[in-house]
Amino acid sequence: MQLTSLAGVAALDFATIIDVRSPSEFAEDHIPGAINLPVMDDAERAEVGTIYKQVSPFDARKIGAAIVAANAAKHLRGPLADKEGGWRPLVYCWRGGQRSGSFATILKQIGWRVELVEGGYKAFRALVVEAGNAPMPCPVVVLDGNTGSAKTDILKAAKAQGAQVIDLEGLANHRGSLFGAMAGGQSSQKDFETRLAMEIAALDPSRPVLLEAESSKIGDLQLPKGIWAAIKDAPRIRVKAPLAERAAYLARAYADITADPERLLSVIDQLRPFQPAERIAAWQAQAVAGEYAALAGELMRDHYDPRYEKHRARHVDTERLIEADSLAPEAIVGLAERVISEATTLTPTA
């Protein structure tokens, strides 16, 4: 079958989607919902490739066929052993060629109604790249605010209230600053682009989507051109909260970092190129003493806020301001309601 759109990928109606590529290929990225039943593991694939180059294509195909048959047998005795006669799988490899074709032939001989993805993963990847470079399909409104303004939590609350939201930091598994690394680390660039593209494909074009203000990179992951252009050009809603509220919020939100003193000290140390040595020493002393709210406040006042203000001037004409007296958990729901209301007025044609 041919993949023509990401919306079509999301609507695929197969019992199982099987990626027969090697484990490392699958780990880097794959069609959403697929399982990995490799017909060659990474070492076997490298072996066949070496034989192809150094001996002959014929010998490589012969040895490759034996490897595929052996691995197919393992899958049939293992993960596929309980599949009934009506089971209908979709199979793909890198380009829809020999690996998936060989495996599909075996499945068809058993009697299963198997189909192949025309062009394989490469065809799916082309759809993802195209979606990442395209303009956003609906109006975009950006939620902005100085560090610690609870933007991520406000967006989560807005989504719970029915707003259309894409959580970029959630998809990137990173909070977007030097202190932003999260447990589990970040996925590959391709996997990030796939998950983001699938969310974009599911958007309602008639409604605005709320995004958090980001730079072009979130941690080590680069935003695709289309969504980055939208973030730069979109109208903004800026949350403005007192420094003390933002500091208290950060002390709660970054509890994973404060629970790891060595990590916290190491991250502060990375600010040495930007701050005087005595300031770094004072911040590290606060970290050791467990004065996390005070530390967060000084980091924002002396490091993050000045940098934010430098970049903010370009958006002043297109932003709406929301004053927040409190960023306590019970206040977030109300802030989300105000953000949704402002977003509606900023996109009157939506």
Active site residues: 93
SS3 36: strand
Per the listing, tokens 């709660």 go with: 252
DSSP secondary structure string for all residues of 186-246: ---HHHHHHHHHHHHHT--TTS-EEEE---SEETTEEPPHHHHHHHHHS-EEEEE--HHHH
Q: What's the DSSP call for residue 173?
A: T
Backbone angles phi, psi at 16, to 5 degrees: -150, 135
CB 127 within 8 A of CB 32: no
Backbone angles phi, psi at 245, to 5 degrees: -65, -45
CB 94 within 8 A of CB 28: no
